[in-house]
Amino acid sequence: MTQDKGVAWAVERIGQRIDYDGAYGSQCMDLVVAMCVEGFGWRPYGNAIRLTDQAVPVGWQRVRKTASFIPAPGDIAIWGLNEYATYGHTGIIESANEQTFVSIDQNWFNPSLAVGSPAARVQHNYYGFWGVLRPPYKTKGGHKLMDAADLDAAFQHGPFQRSRGKNEADEWIGRSVFDFLRFAEQQGEVVERKNREAAAQRRLMELEKQVLDKNAAAINMDAVLEFLANLKK
């Protein structure tokens, strides 16, 4: 599921009632559970407050609200402060700014613990807002956007793992390449050009071999820079 499709999925449910667990009608959590299962094959459990502490699959991010934090479309909003601290509330964010956000919520208007209420578009302030769960949305090309955690994992366990720490040049090569690939992927270029991606991987392996077989000083830095420049084209 892409980010756009996640938002569209929620908007399409406006006016509908989803009672995923067959209990207490269309509660707020039912909408979010349905989206998580249909889009990502994961079923959260419990009341909405449990979204603040239950284990989440690899790739999901739990982000606390700060003064400067603005949720992204498709984030799963979590209320867990003040009167929301016991049961919580949740919805799927459509848009947001520093003062307010719009989300698709069940059981917000005419709330009922017995039968709930239909999904609706609601404008909120950040009162009681705890933070968000961010699903591992895919890009339109089919790949998840790389974030800082992905880069760290790639550097720890990827093609540069064995030679990491041997010298500064080794680390520079690894982080420069992965940082640039992150940018290219966000623009949709890497995922749309499979042949160039394969060539880039082969070139990375060649650079790694130089690091492993020789001293880093022997690396042709001009060739590295040329490789990075060609990726940007």
- Domain edges within the chain: 3-134, 148-232
pLDDT digits (tens, 9 = 90+) for 68-100: 999 999 999 999 999 999 999 999 999 999 999
Which CATH number does the domain 3-134 belong to among 3.40.640.10, 3.40.190.10, 3.90.1720.10, 3.40.50.300? Answer: 3.90.1720.10
pLDDT by residue (tens digit) across 28-49?
Answer: 999 999 999 999 999 999 999 9
pLDDT (tens digit per residue) in 118-168: 999 999 999 999 999 999 998 765 555 445 555 554 444 444 444 444 444
Mean pLDDT (whole number) for 162-175: 47
**Taking a C-beta distance cutoff of 8 angstroms, is the pair 125, 133 a contact?**
no
Residues 101, 95 contacting (CB under 8 angstroms): yes
What is the rounded average pLDDT of the residues 168-179?
Answer: 51
- pLDDT of 58 reads 93
16 confidence band (pLDDT: 50, 70, 90): very high
114 φ/ψ angles, rounded to the nearest 5 degrees: -90, -40
Distances in Å between the alpha carbon of 153 and those of 144, 147, 148, 161, 202?
A: 14, 10, 9, 9, 20
List of residues 6+ apart from 183 with CB closer than 8 A:
none
Instruction: Flag whether the pTM goes above 0.75.
Output: no
Q: What is the pLDDT of residue 162?
A: 40
